[in-house]
A and B are shown apart, each in its own frame.
With several copies, the nearest count.
Chain A
Amino acid sequence: MTLGRAWARDWVGRSARVIAEQRTRLISLDREIGDGDHGENMERGFQAVVVKLADLDPDAAPAEVLKLVATTLISTVGGASGPLYGTAYLKASGAIAGLEELDGTALVALLGAARDGVVLRGKAEVGDKTMIDAWTPAVEAAGQAQAEGRSEAQILDAAAAAAESGSASTDPLVARKGRASYLGERAVGHRDPGSVSTALILRAAADAATGGT
């Protein structure tokens, strides 16, 4: 079963809710190895998205929804995560331009474009202890699931699961990008907050596909 506008809107709504719920956790993680604003930044952005989405034409295609997310995050989040997530959604929107329904191929393209957008702006590689450590395994797992002929819901579940373990894999790392890179060895033992928000957002995508809670 392909995923359409309802899924796209539900994904955004779930993302906003889970980011709001996890706001203090994201702040705490960012306090430990950054400057303590990641939860606030992301919540501010996604609340603005929810408000704007209510005004969007109900017939808007998934790409329109993602573009709205992109421009809203760019203009409300600030910090490093604003331009990074903003570019991710912008590129993701471009990858599914014109499509009303997204199949497995489209989803893999969406995720890959999002990841490439983050890399384009932030120049991070896997192992740098950034959100890329969640995005790249997610893209790879989605590609693999799609190659194995899994359903759209299964593809997104695979992506979310990979993002979650990718995020956990940042714990032992020394950071090479972002604020945590100032810390050297002292970042070891802490999880990168941006990788956690990425995992939350991808889990929201999977949940939106199954209608789970």
Chain B
Amino acid sequence: MKKLINDPRTVVAEALQGVALAHPGLLTVVTGPDHIHRADAPVQGKVALVSGGGSGHEPLHGGFVGYGMLDAAVPGAVFTSPTPDPILAATLAVDGGAGVLHIVKNYTGDVLNFETAADLAEAEGVQVRAVITDDDVAVKDSLYTAGRRGVAGTVFVEKIAGAAAQRGDDLDAVTAIAQRVNAATRSMGVALTAPTVPHAGEPSFDIGDDEIEIGIGIHGEPGRERIALEPADAIVDRILAPIVEDLPFASGDEVLLLVNGMGATPLIELYVAFRRAHESLAAQGITVTRSLVGSYVTSLEMQGFSLSLLKLDAELTELWDAPVQTAALRWGR
């Protein structure tokens, strides 16, 4: 295992110290229990958004804290949901009297720990709602699974619900927007290599030099199937089809397309993938009117990428375009 760390047990805490030093005007980092919140939190009268989950997916979620997006992020250990204590602390810290929305990726651990924190926060008089993101079409959503995973589409939910909260929507309205975005988002990912969790010391899965994992999760959970390495265009087509079919997206739709690097995929390769996805969608009559290319929801140093598609309407487009000022996503101010 080759990592730029001091000790697997201190990596999250030390990174948080780095975040605090790098973004003094923007973010406040609280230690014990650890969380990151907007430097100007609580914003009185604004619905507050809190997200979180295991570390190792940076910039998700801490990179999305700031004006127009999240009010707080709660990092757990690497690939491990945070416990209720810091979620509760973050929730109390950012509540501006208008209630708090928890944005939770659909993993058993995340759901349970956020649930407990929400109960405790409600007991302290803070109104809490939750939206569970589950955009990953690689997993069958049936009674026989824990349901779809929340993956890179979570960024859409955080940005757009964040903009709704920033414009002054109330808790019900922000929750409804978040749910609407999640319901209109589909994603799927591919891994070329496996990530190595620092405390595990070994890659999360073994994969041959000429193999790729289709339908990979963001924690190195194995995916749908293992196939031989293919040209980029073929891989893009392979994961775009189930995304389009699932919603389904249809001719005439306008979409936001995210080509998301999983950590170690060069930007030049992400643009190669973007080109193909854009072309294939165009051929189906689907127009990419907004886009994002980069590594936003990562899996440590895993090589791979995911595609996420959100069906846009005028309101969602306007909220996507609204100003945002965070460490990882910034425009309009």
Q: Do A and B bind each other?
A: yes
Is the beta-carbon distance between A79 and B200 smaller than 8 angstroms?
no
Q: B144 near A: Cβ within 8 Å?
A: yes
Q: A21 near B: Cβ within 8 Å?
A: no
Is the beta-carbon distance between B82 and A40 smaller than 8 angstroms?
no
Q: Please name all residues of chain A whose beta carbon is closer than 8 Å to the beta carbon of B82 when the two chains form the complex.
A: 78
Is the beta-carbon distance between B146 and A181 smaller than 8 angstroms?
yes
| Mask of A182-204 contacts with B, CB within 8 angstroms, 1/0 | 11101000000000000000000
The secondary structure that dominates the B interface is loop
Partner of A41, one of B80, B107, B205, B222: B80
Is the beta-carbon distance between A37 and B197 smaller than 8 angstroms?
yes
Total contacting residues, chain B, CB less than 8 A: 39
Partner of A40, one of B77, B112, B205: B77
Query: Size class of A's contact patch?
Result: 20 to 34
Q: Which A residues from 21 to 37 make CB contacts under 8 A with B?
A: 27, 31, 33-37
Is the beta-carbon distance between A31 and B116 smaller than 8 angstroms?
no
Q: B220 near A: Cβ within 8 Å?
A: yes
Q: B189 near A: Cβ within 8 Å?
A: no
Q: Which residue on chain B has the smallest CB distance to residue A73? A: B83
Q: A94 near B: Cβ within 8 Å?
A: no
Q: Which B residues from 131 to 161 make CB contacts under 8 A with A?
A: 138-140, 143-146, 149
Q: Please name all residues of chain B whose beta carbon is closer than 8 Å to the beta carbon of A121 when the two chains form the complex.
A: 112
Partner of A182, one of B33, B76, B80, B149: B149
Q: Please name all residues of chain A whose beta carbon is closer than 8 Å to the beta carbon of B204 when the two chains form the complex.
A: 31, 35-36
Q: B217 near A: Cβ within 8 Å?
A: yes
Q: Please name all residues of chain A whose beta carbon is closer than 8 Å to the beta carbon of B140 when the two chains form the complex.
A: 184
Partner of B112, one of A75, A76, A83: A83
Q: Please name all residues of chain A whose beta carbon is closer than 8 Å to the beta carbon of B166 when the two chains form the complex.
A: none
Is the beta-carbon distance between B222 and A122 smaller than 8 angstroms?
no
- The minimal Cβ–Cβ distance linking A123 to chain B, given in whole angstroms, is 10
| Mask of B190-221 contacts with A, CB within 8 angstroms, 1/0 | 00000001011010110000000000010111
Q: Please name all residues of chain B whose beta carbon is closer than 8 Å to the beta carbon of A4 when the two chains form the complex.
A: none
Q: Which A residues from 1 to 26 make CB contacts under 8 A with B?
A: none
Q: Please name all residues of chain B whose beta carbon is closer than 8 Å to the beta carbon of A76 when the two chains form the complex.
A: 83
Partner of A177, one of B108, B221, B223: B108
Q: Please name all residues of chain A whose beta carbon is closer than 8 Å to the beta carbon of B76 when the two chains form the complex.
A: 78-79
The secondary structure that dominates the A interface is helix
Q: Which residue on chain A has the smallest CB distance to residue B53? A: A78
Is the beta-carbon distance between B219 and A179 smaller than 8 angstroms?
yes
Q: Please name all residues of chain B whose beta carbon is closer than 8 Å to the beta carbon of A34 when the two chains form the complex.
A: 221
CA distance A44 to B178 in the complex (A): 34
Q: B50 near A: Cβ within 8 Å?
A: no
Interface centre among B112, B113, B205 (most CB of A within 10 A): B112
CA distance A133 to B96 in the complex (A): 44
CA distance A178 to B84 in the complex (A): 19
Q: Which B residues from 71 to 107 make CB contacts under 8 A with A?
A: 76-85, 107
Q: Please name all residues of chain B whose beta carbon is closer than 8 Å to the beta carbon of A84 when the two chains form the complex.
A: 112
Q: Which residue on chain B has the smallest CB distance to residue A82? A: B83
Tell me whether A78 and B146 are in contact in the complex, defined as CB-CB below 8 angstroms, given that A35-B204, A40-B199 are known contacts. Answer: no
Q: Please name all residues of chain A whose beta carbon is closer than 8 Å to the beta carbon of B219 when the two chains form the complex.
A: 35, 179
Is the beta-carbon distance between A75 and B81 smaller than 8 angstroms?
no
Partner of A78, one of B113, B145, B199, B221: B113
Q: Given known contacts A35-B221, A44-B77, what 6 new A-B pairs fall within 8 Å (CB)?
A: A36-B204, A40-B197, A74-B83, A78-B82, A82-B83, A178-B146
- Pairs across A and B, CB under 8 Å, 27 listed: A27-B200, A31-B204, A31-B205, A36-B200, A36-B220, A37-B80, A40-B80, A41-B77, A44-B77, A74-B116, A78-B54, A78-B77, A78-B80, A78-B83, A78-B109, A81-B109, A82-B83, A83-B113, A83-B116, A122-B112, A176-B143, A176-B144, A176-B145, A179-B108, A181-B139, A182-B149, A182-B223
B: which residues have CB within 8 A of A?
Answer: 33, 54, 76-85, 107-109, 112-113, 115-116, 138-140, 143-146, 149, 197, 199-200, 202, 204-205, 217, 219-223
A: which residues have CB within 8 A of B?
Answer: 27, 31, 33-37, 40-41, 44, 74-84, 121-122, 174, 176-179, 181-184, 186
